[in-house]
Structure 1
Amino acid sequence: MSTTSAFFTQKGDELVPEPHARSPWSPDMLHGRLLGGLAARALEQAHGEPGLQFARLTVDLFRNSPMLPVTVETTLVRDGRRIRVADAVVSTAQGVIARGSAVLLRHGQQPDGERGAATPAWDEQPPSGPAPEARRGGWTPPFDLWQLSGWGLPGPGRVWTREKYPLVDDEPVSPFVRAALAADFASPLSNAQSDGLRFINADYTLTLARLPEGEHVGLEATGHASAQGVATGQVTMHDATGPIGFCVVTAVANPAMGRTR
């Protein structure tokens, strides 16, 4: 991961975005994947604990925001013996722009036996060396992307991703934050078609059996359904050793690049 420039600089309680924090939908809009990453970071810092697994993160992306400083506040909702629930609210001077909800489950003894619906490891190994240059229209992804299948073609779409920059200052990107950032790519991967991306996601829900190991996170699109301009898509998420969880997104038709939610 490069340490050239983080997406945000911490200044007091505010996180000030750098130019490469922009969205592909508009040059003056914050990227939704980063809001999910900031929610995950704040939840992990405030409520993470050894032995507690971040098993679910839902990120609601219900309002676009210009490139303004961001604040994130968290609330502990429930703290039990085996489950902890916490929320995060992401705001700018214009108001609340996103929120996150996390479920943490305590590690325990793994049950014996085979599970009939167990997801197999895929046959794609993490790439080595630099990533190819990837462009989506006039936008270059500020993360490494290896596309393993045709864009929007029939069949499961597959990609490997890797973060290029820290999220905040020079902080290392934690495995949980890495998974939260990668999960946003479930929307373009599951909703793309051969002539481009016609849906923009309103949320995503990441579920994790374990945290990713290493820098690479792989995504495989395993489903899409849409009707009357509303879509849902799903992906399986992988690391080098096998599947780690799933991500489901909902999305709304957005035929013209740059239109707002």
Structure 2
Amino acid sequence: MPSTTAFFTQKQGELVPAPHARGPWSPDMLHGRLLGGLAARALEERHAEPGLHFARLTVDLFRSSPMLPVTVETSLVRDGRRIRVADATISTEQGVIGRACAVLLRQGEEAGGTQTFLTPSWDEPAPDGPPADGRGWTPPFDLWRLTEWGAPGPGRVWTRETHPLVDEEPVTPFVRAALAADFASPLSNVGTDGLRYINADYTLTLARLPESDLIGIEATGHVSAAGLATGQVTLHDTTGPIGFCTVTAVANPAGIGGR
């Protein structure tokens, strides 16, 4: 049975990583998806309010970090009647390693009328079998590959968190979406010879929060030139699409980690 211990433990104001918080690029490097999850957790804990919805989360991952304790500080940028903006700064003893910005919008009535285009629900049923076996680095979350890794055409996966992020705290729907969103980079940037890009950021946009533990991710775009790439995915829960995620990435020679 896989461990279900948390990725981080709170100790004296810091978040201390467990061994399974490492990423795929290096055994001594924190996984970027967890930094986005920690930013989402802190922003939600300190700036959420009933009726305000986390509509956007941008996470900048501009510096790789060894497996060191992390702190997350937040600040309120603007607090208006219909929009709230808050920032988060993610640091270790080596300095700032990332930042995030969240936009919360006031919920209300639908705009009315008929949209000229709607993102369709995908035709992938919820998984009813075990997740995929690890190939090389084994992800510390459930992953079902619905398309062959690196095969031509849009990639599709289902994901599900299996560990708490911090201590025994439940993973909230917003944090769950933030953790899943980082998979936009490997899914949209993978090639026939594997993943040759490392992402510098990701921007998650949500019309609504996921209603299930399962989050489906479908690659819907990739453009690259001169060693730089941008990719996009659509995110789904078991009832339909919930939003999108875009990433920027830089070409990364095989076996080379870091940003």
Superposition TM-score, scaled by structure 2 size:
0.97
Query: Partner letter of residue 61 of structure 1?
Result: L
Q: Deviations over 1:169-192 (max 9, x none)?
A: 000000000000000000000000
Asked if 2 retains the 8 angstrom alpha-carbon contact of 1:3 and 1:166, the reply is: no
Q: Which residue in 2 is equivalent to 1:87?
A: 87
Residue 40 of structure 1: how far off its partner (Å): 0.2
Q: Which residue in 2 is equivalent to 1:258?
A: 256
Residue 127 of structure 1: how far off its partner (Å): 1.0
SS at match of 1:181: helix
| Structure 1: 5+ residue stretches without partners | none
2: distance between equivalents of 1:206 and 1:260?
A: 22
Q: Which residue in 1 is equivalent to 2:156?
A: 158
SS at match of 2:36: helix
Q: Which residue in 2 is equivalent to 1:146?
A: 144
Q: Which residue in 2 is equivalent to 1:201?
A: 199
1: distance between equivalents of 2:177 and 2:129?
A: 21
| Structure 2: 5+ residue stretches without partners | none
SS at match of 1:16: strand
SS at match of 1:116: coil
1: distance between equivalents of 2:115 and 2:255?
A: 43
2: distance between equivalents of 1:41 and 1:75?
A: 14
Asked if 2 retains the 8 angstrom alpha-carbon contact of 1:52 and 1:105, the reply is: yes
Residue 88 of structure 1: how far off its partner (Å): 0.1
Q: Which residue in 1 is equivalent to 2:24?
A: 24
Residue 15 of structure 1: how far off its partner (Å): 0.2
After TM superposition, the structure 1 stretch with the greater mean CA deviation from structure 2, 79-88 or 250-259, is 250-259
Query: Partner letter of residue 70 of structure 1?
Result: V
SS at match of 2:209: coil
Q: Which residue in 2 is equivalent to 1:182?
A: 180
2: distance between equivalents of 1:253 and 1:170?
A: 37
Asked if 2 retains the 8 angstrom alpha-carbon contact of 1:134 and 1:145, the reply is: no
Asked if 1 retains the 8 angstrom alpha-carbon contact of 2:132 and 2:145, the reply is: no
For the aligned residue pairs, the C-alpha RMSD in angstroms reads 1.1
2: distance between equivalents of 1:3 and 1:144?
A: 12
- Counting aligned pairs with the same residue, the percent is 75
2: distance between equivalents of 1:192 and 1:202?
A: 15
Asked if 1 retains the 8 angstrom alpha-carbon contact of 2:13 and 2:71, the reply is: yes
Q: Structure 1 residues 3 and 153 mapped into 2: Cα distance closer, same or farther (>3 Å)?
A: closer
Query: Partner letter of residue 89 of structure 2?
Result: V
2: distance between equivalents of 1:171 and 1:224?
A: 35
Alignment counterpart, residue 210 of structure 1, candidates 187, 204, 208: 208
Q: Which residue in 2 is equivalent to 1:231?
A: 229
Q: Deviations over 1:196-234 (max 9, x none)?
A: 000000000000000001100000000000011000000
Superposition TM-score, scaled by structure 1 size:
0.97
2: distance between equivalents of 1:256 and 1:132?
A: 23
Query: Partner letter of residue 210 of structure 1?
Result: R
